[in-house]
Amino acid sequence: MTIKKQSLILLGAAALSLSLSACSVFDWLIYKPDVAQGNYMEKQQVEKLRMEMTKEQVQYILGRPVLHDSFADNTWYYVYQFKSGRDASIIHKELIIRFSDDKLIQAEGDYDLSPDFNTPLDESRLPDINSPVADDVNSSINDNMGIPQTGMPPMGKQNPAQ
């Protein structure tokens, strides 16, 4: 073979290999969108779950599950997957909810549950309005708004002078 023919074959092979690997060489130039699939849930949503909640209450807080177990209607799967377009990293989270007699009995998965999860919803209560914490909050709000503390009757109580 002549040198001219060898250099032409070598140049053709280099061009062919460059064209086949062009996508990987210039991969950083190509835009790839982030792909999110499933139920995205905030930590605050999961912390609202309580034992003995009904299916409707759970669905109101978390949304519709991605998957219902076809053999056991009492198991719901909330799955979330996020694939970054830049570095192709994948975040996968899941939460499995189990019911008995249409009441929540178990939640497990990649999310932290509230410390109050085992307290049934009907036994949990909100803080009292007249508790010291609520009074501190009201006084700090009044201070920030420039409302004097004296001369105003407490909220919700009738003024005896009227």
Helix H, strand E, coil C: the string for the chain is CCHHHHHHHHHHHHHHHHHHCHHHHCHHHCCCCCEEEECCCCHHHHHCCCCCCEHHHHHHHHCCCCEECCCCCCEEEEEEEEECCCCCCEEEEEEEEEEECCEEEEEEECCCCCCCCCCCCCCCCCCCCCCHHHHHHHHHHHHHHCCCCCCCCCCCCCCCCC
pLDDT score of 146 = 54
Tell me the domain boundaries of the chain: 31-137
pLDDT digits (tens), the chain, 162 positions? 688 777 778 887 777 776 665 556 666 778 888 888 888 888 888 888 888 889 999 999 999 998 887 887 889 999 999 998 888 889 999 999 999 999 999 999 998 888 888 888 777 765 555 555 445 545 555 555 555 555 555 555 555 554
pTM: 0.59
